[in-house]
Amino acid sequence: MSSIATKILTFLLGVGVCASAHAGQPKTRILFIGKDPDHPHGTHMYMHTCGVLAKCAELTPGVETVVSNGWPKDAKSLAGVKSIVVYTSPAAELLLEGPHRNDVDQLMKKGVGLVTIHWASSVNQKNLERLGPSWLSYLGGTWVSNVGLSSGKSPLKQLIPGHPICRGWKEYDIEDEFYMNPTIRQAKPLLQVTERKGKEVIVGWV
């Protein structure tokens, strides 16, 4: 998991739950979706990372979490969910293929939040034409999986320092893997890095 993702998720969840984290109000329920490993041990630890982030989120009063390996098989897991956090391989395929596609669509139309971390923010190139329009309507932007990668050190720049997601932290230097050439449609670019050849790359949007 990238350090960028950790910062984004921490502050996004903090912003999203503050309004409902008062005594006597229903808890804010967040669904974390991971999957079985598909990389060497110690990298892309989807379920482990989701579990850790879920525990961190529950440190905020009024928050409860559910962690699922893939889309939940029990419909009760979706009851009252206010936000879905996905850390998997490309999540366009995970969410938009299979019998649960209509469930996903209904949740998005109800205004349930969607946070995708790292690779999960992508759609496979072969499925871009078929899944891209719906995926972009949910997420506001995407990467096309593995059409361009770069890694190295860069400052993590806040393009909208006053945005709530940027609250409580300052720009800092990171060393990470960056996906190149994101497609941003219905979203505002929020975070930017400079890859090793000097190209500025958007790595977060809202």
Q: What is the pLDDT of residue 11?
A: 43
Q: What is the pLDDT of residue 23?
A: 58
Ranges 2-16, 65-79, 131-145, 167-181: which has the least confidence: 2-16
Q: What is the pLDDT of residue 43?
A: 64
pTM for the predicted model, two decimal places: 0.85
Residues present in the chain in total: 206
pLDDT of 95 strictly over 90: yes
Q: For residue range 7-17, what is the model confidence (pLDDT) as tens digits?
A: 445 444 444 44
Q: Which domains does the chain have, with CATH numbers?
A: 3-147 (3.40.50)
Q: What is the pLDDT of residue 3?
A: 43
